Amino acid sequence: MDLREFIDIVGKDNVLTDKVDVIPYTKDASFFTGKIPYAVLLPQNVNQVSSIMRICQRDDIQVTVRGGGSSLTGSSILAEEGVILSMARFDRILETAIEDRYVVAEAGVKLDYLNSHLSKYGHFYPPDPASSIAATVGGSISTNAGGLRAAMYGATKEWVLGLEVVLPDGTIIQTGGKVLKRSIGYDLTALMVGSEGTLGVITKAILKIAPLPESYGRIMVYYKSIEEAGRAISSLKKRGITPLIAEFMDRISMDSITHTKGIKFPEDAQYLLLIDISSTHESLDKKLNEAAEILKSTDILGMRITKDPEEMAVMYQARKGLYSSQLSEREKPGEYVIIGDIVVPASRLPKTLSEIKGSIENYGLKVALFGHIGDGNIHANIFADVNNSEQMKRVNDFMMELGRIALRNEGSVSSEHGIGIEKIELLKEEYRYKNSLKNLDIMREIKKIFDPKNILNRGKMF
Amino acid sequence: MNLLNELMQETEKCINCGFCESVCPTLPFMGYRATYGARGRVFISRESLRELNSTGVISLNIGDSIFSCLECYACYYVCPAGVNPGKVSQMMRTIINRENKNRKNVADMIVRAIIRRKNPLGIRERMSSWAADIDFDRKSDTLLYTGGMYQLMAYSSFLSRIEGKLDVKTVERLASILKDKPELLGLIAIPERRMKERMEKILRDIVFLLKRSGIDFNYLDKEEPYSGAFLYELGYMDEFINYGKYLRDLFLSRGIKRIITLDPHTHEALKILYPKYVENFNFQVYHYLELINLQLRKGNERFVYHQPCHFTMHEDFDVPLGFITKMGVTILPDRNGKSNFCCGGPAELLYPKLANSISNERFKQLKEKGGDRIITACPICFANLSKDSTVFDISEVIREYLNK
């Protein structure tokens, strides 16, 4: 491949071709390994992206855009040979408008960095994927990331007001804007959210922000029965309580935190619910007590209530790093943790969790169950040796069954990680189940309009 | 467990989540190239180890990636899987040095100077001029051990400024000549006058504080060797262990039982590393601030404290913070404690441009806090952050705040 044109655009130092420089881009946080890129390009402004895309479209060069490289489904690695477009140098926060409640940030800004900036103004950007320390504005928009606070604030799609996008032919478009309401035809901003880099390159975003909760406290409650844990959440919601965070984890998950972070849990506890309640300073105790009383009406093993910021921060960080911590529970190094990510309505949680537990036993797999249970999101992390074909068949079958359980319970096969390489079959399964395979045809047609030569993130989603 | 197995086990724990990369100081200043971030370093280390295991060689050019790591350990404290990419880099340097490929001439040059002349720049005899008019207790079994760290900063600042003006290849070529002739290194080691005067004043302040606290101690004058910390940090483990034996025997031959260190690097080497790697390295090691027992004034001055990584990330040594809080209002930068941001100093001799970019960023972070003065407790941090007149070593401020 002739790289001279790319070098002219971004400079020699920003076109990486040495093997040692490009191989780290064959991996993201998923268990997939991508193709070795011909080159990694590191543009710094939208015009450079535009020029790069024009060349790629002209020469039919496959492009995968990479933000923080924290994808769990393989959406930020190359499924076919091509170049990686790293957005790392798009690292500026351009505008902070507190009175209008928005912030303008470049695509490569990390979410924790963004929130550290906003906290100085008493505000925050609520989407909070567990990987927020590494995840970027652009990447989280591309996967419609959810996270811990989605229980109260919803996923990323609720918080994106507008975008700057470079199309595969190099055209730069602006979608949406700086206002909360807008009614001007098809919502192209919404279309870009969750499109996983298949339609265009997001270079900049206008994001809605919110005031930080005045105060919050935490209830940690332990269960023996998975169904009771599920019932606790639906009971809270039935009584009108929306937690700031409602996380769930099983014994394997708790053990992994003990092994990596030294945090101990009651020995007889099989399941933990971690529930944060936000409120004004004056009414926090009352709200915490209300929630605690409801939870006590379920069959609990124990409960702890705290408002200690340090204690809450330690456990919060442990929860955010849970996926990686689970590696400590592998039987051998090199074994992978493959992530399931489904969602169901809160009222279906007890039945869903019970069905998943039964399915795990049927397939004879080691699976850690946890998730953002406040919005019905359950992660089923499977410990697997990817070189063991018999085991991998069972893993794939279990993943399909997990998706079907979600669908039978009126949920979805993918909650917040996207489709990437991993869930292509599950995406079909969802539309097949809903007798709506036409949706996939429509999506393919949309893809053709944006990207007629199919150069953007080929091999993902479809 | 041997080094290769230990490294393989450490790197195989990583799942590429990228948490470490987001706090790595070198990544943005090396153009966001993944190889120059913590995740990239672990990844290429794992690939290299697998290759080494299967073919017996490492074909990737991993030297600059691995040697540019600051070993600040910010990465370690955010890794949910418990991987320490900083430690991986340190151990990979040992693999590189043993494999004899991807070695850095500048590192080799420093190491040979330490081994042959007991000083990273081969100028041991110039390290004691600050103490010419001080009376030490020649019979004391307590040793004031500077390791030459404060003194060296005047020379390394000058060298890194010259290096910063040259490209990496030219520096490596020069180092390839000088590494076999460490005695010539002294010829180009010219101190920056003002830095030398400042560092010597700091050393005299420390002696004053110790003496005022009633501590008696000896000093080795021109015979005082360097601590060997660089040998460990640069991954020359065999040399580090042998050097530790040399230090042990020297101290024993002088009847030393108790050692007072002045800086975090020397403190870590003597207190933690040598006892771990060198048999019978059993001295009582104290940082001088642990021994000072003096009445201090409490003022209203606002001190922004830059914590040395080797105190907060490698050890849990908070003594300087206690002194600062006694004297005035303590302000910590946003990145402090276990999420500290390095001063860039560890890259100073091998990658001076990188070190300068990182120190500029850290200086900006410290200034943004709006304090009256910036305080450090490490000569390397001091030399790298000393970009205006508001930066002080903690000993200088303690001396100012002594009750008369």
Per residue in A161-194, pLDDT (tens digit) is 999 999 999 999 999 999 998 899 999 999 999 9
- Specify whether A97 is located in the same domain as A207: yes
> Domain limits of chain B?
3-102, 106-290, 302-400
pLDDT beyond 80 at B163: no
Residue A286 is classified by DSSP as H
Same fold for the pair B3-102 and B302-400: no
Rounded to whole angstroms, the Cα distance separating A35 from A3 reads 18
What integer pLDDT is reported at residue A107 of this predicted model? 98
What integer pLDDT is reported at residue B88 of this predicted model? 97
Q: What is the CATH number of the domain that holds A110?
A: 3.30.465.10
Tell me which of B10, B12, B22, B26 to substitute to probe the interface with A (most A C-beta atoms closer than 10 Å): B22
Of B8, B21, B62, the CB nearest to A134: B21
The alpha carbon of residue A428 and the mean position of all alpha carbons in its chain are separated, in whole angstroms, by 20
Task: List C-alpha distances in Å: B47 to A15, A19, A258, B303.
Answer: 22, 11, 30, 45
What integer pLDDT is reported at residue B166 of this predicted model? 72
Residues of B with CB below 8 A from A321's CB? Answer: 17, 19, 79-81
Tell me which residue range forms the domain holding A23.
4-88
- Specify whether A47 is located in the same domain as A102: no
Residue, of B120 and B174, whose pLDDT is higher: B120
Is there a domain that residue A408 lies in?
yes
pLDDT beyond 80 at B285: yes
Q: Is the CB of A70 less than 8 angstroms away from the CB of B43? A: no
- Specify whether A157 is located in the same domain as A205: yes
The answer to whether the CB of A248 falls within 8 A of the CB of A370 is yes
Superfamily holding B3-102? Alpha-helical ferredoxin (1.10.1060.10)
Residues of A with CB below 8 A from B12's CB? Answer: 333-334
Specify the range with the lowest mean pLDDT, choosing from B162-166, B228-232, B306-310: B162-166
The answer to whether the CB of B151 falls within 8 A of the CB of B126 is yes
- Averaged pLDDT, B273-284: 97
The residue of chain B with its CA nearest to that of A323 is B80
Is there a domain that residue A435 lies in?
yes
Place of tokens 């008369």: B404
Helix (H, G, I), strand (E, B) or coil at B330: strand
Is there a domain that residue A261 lies in?
no
What integer pLDDT is reported at residue A337 of this predicted model? 86
The answer to whether the CB of B274 falls within 8 A of the CB of B233 is no
Is there a domain that residue A460 lies in?
no
Is there a domain that residue A262 lies in?
no
What integer pLDDT is reported at residue B404 of this predicted model? 66
The residue of chain B with its CA nearest to that of A15 is B33
Residue, of A186 and B172, whose pLDDT is higher: A186
Rounded to whole angstroms, the Cα distance separating A97 from A123 reads 11
- Specify whether A107 is located in the same domain as A38: no
- Fold observed for domain B302-400: Rossmann fold (3.40.50)
Residue, of B219 and A337, whose pLDDT is higher: B219
What integer pLDDT is reported at residue B159 of this predicted model? 73
Tell me which of A20, A263, A320 to substitute to probe the interface with B (most B C-beta atoms closer than 10 Å): A20
Residue A172 is classified by DSSP as E
Residues of A with CB below 8 A from B50's CB? Answer: none
The answer to whether the CB of B260 falls within 8 A of the CB of B216 is no
Angle at B323 between CA B322 and CA B328, to 5 degrees: 100
- Specify whether A70 is located in the same domain as A158: no
Specify the range with the lowest mean pLDDT, choosing from B8-22, B261-275, B380-394: B8-22
Task: For residue B16, give how far its alpha carbon lies from the nearest alpha carbon of chain A (Å).
Answer: 5
Q: What is the CATH number of the domain that holds A221?
A: 3.30.70.2190
Task: For residue B370, give how far its alpha carbon lies from the nearest alpha carbon of chain A (Å).
Answer: 15
What integer pLDDT is reported at residue B1 of this predicted model? 65
Task: List C-alpha distances in Å: A21 to A25, A89, B142.
Answer: 8, 16, 50
- Specify whether A68 is located in the same domain as A106: no
Q: What is the CATH number of the domain that holds A43?
A: 3.30.43.10
Q: Is the CB of A88 less than 8 angstroms away from the CB of B19? A: no
Of residues B155, B253, B142, B157, the one with CA closest to residue B207: B142
Residue, of A19 and B105, whose pLDDT is higher: A19
Order of strands, sheet of A245-250, starting from the edge strand that comes earlier in the sequence: A300-306, A215-223, A271-279, A245-250, A367-371, A377-384, A336-343
Q: Is the CB of B34 less than 8 angstroms away from the CB of A25? A: yes
Residues of A with CB below 8 A from B78's CB? Answer: 133
Indicate the average pLDDT of chain B.
Answer: 93
Task: List C-alpha distances in Å: B12 to A96, A333, B210.
Answer: 41, 6, 48
Task: List C-alpha distances in Å: B400 to B60, B320, B403, B404.
Answer: 53, 15, 9, 9
Identify the segments of chain A with pLDDT beneath 70: 333-334
Could you give phi then psi for residue A173, rounded to 5 degrees?
A: -120, 155
- Specify whether A51 is located in the same domain as A21: yes
The residue of chain A with its CA nearest to that of B61 is A20
- Name the amino acid, one letter, at A348: R
At B328, the pLDDT band (50, 70, 90 cuts) reads very high
* Predicted model pTM: 0.93
pLDDT in tens, B118-155: 999 999 999 999 999 999 999 999 999 999 999 999 98
Helix (H, G, I), strand (E, B) or coil at A161: strand
The answer to whether the CB of A413 falls within 8 A of the CB of A427 is yes
- Specify whether A191 is located in the same domain as A220: no
Q: Is the CB of B32 less than 8 angstroms away from the CB of A88? A: yes
Rounded to whole angstroms, the Cα distance separating B267 from B260 reads 8
Q: What is the secondary structure of A359-386 as a DSSP string?
A: HHHHHT--EEEEE-GGGTEEEEEEEE-T
Q: Which residues contact B161 (CB under 8 A, 6 or more apart)?
A: B352
Rounded to whole angstroms, the Cα distance separating B99 from B49 reads 12
pLDDT in tens, A266-275: 999 999 999 9
In chain A, the number of structural domains is 4
What integer pLDDT is reported at residue A336 of this predicted model? 83
Task: For residue B228, give how far its alpha carbon lies from the nearest alpha carbon of chain A (Å).
Answer: 31
Q: Is the CB of B33 less than 8 angstroms away from the CB of A21? A: yes
Residues of A with CB below 8 A from B31's CB? Answer: 13-14, 42, 89
- Specify whether A345 is located in the same domain as A422: yes
The residue of chain A with its CA nearest to that of B27 is A88
Task: For residue B13, give how far its alpha carbon lies from the nearest alpha carbon of chain A (Å).
Answer: 6
Q: What percentage of residues in chain B have a pLDDT greater than 70?
A: 99
Q: What are the CB-based long-range contacts (under 8 Å, 24+) for B25-29?
A: B25/B70, B25/B72, B25/B74, B25/B341, B25/B342, B25/B344, B25/B358, B25/B361, B26/B68, B26/B69, B26/B70, B26/B347, B26/B354, B26/B358, B27/A88, B28/A91, B29/B354, B29/B357, B29/B358, B29/B361
- Specify whether A228 is located in the same domain as A292: yes
- Specify whether A339 is located in the same domain as A353: yes
Please tell me the total number of residues recorded for chain A in this structure. Answer: 462
The residue of chain A with its CA nearest to that of B21 is A134
Residues in chain B whose beta carbon is closer than 8 A to a beta carbon of chain A?
A: 8-9, 12-13, 15-19, 21-23, 27-28, 31-35, 39-40, 43-44, 47, 60-62, 65, 78-82, 334
- Specify whether A196 is located in the same domain as A146: yes
Is there a domain that residue A349 lies in?
yes
Q: What is the secondary structure of B120-163 as a DSSP string?
A: TTS-GGGTTGGGTT----TT-SEEEE-TTHHHHHHHHHHHHHHH
Q: Which helix (H) or strand (E) holds A111?
A: helix A111-119
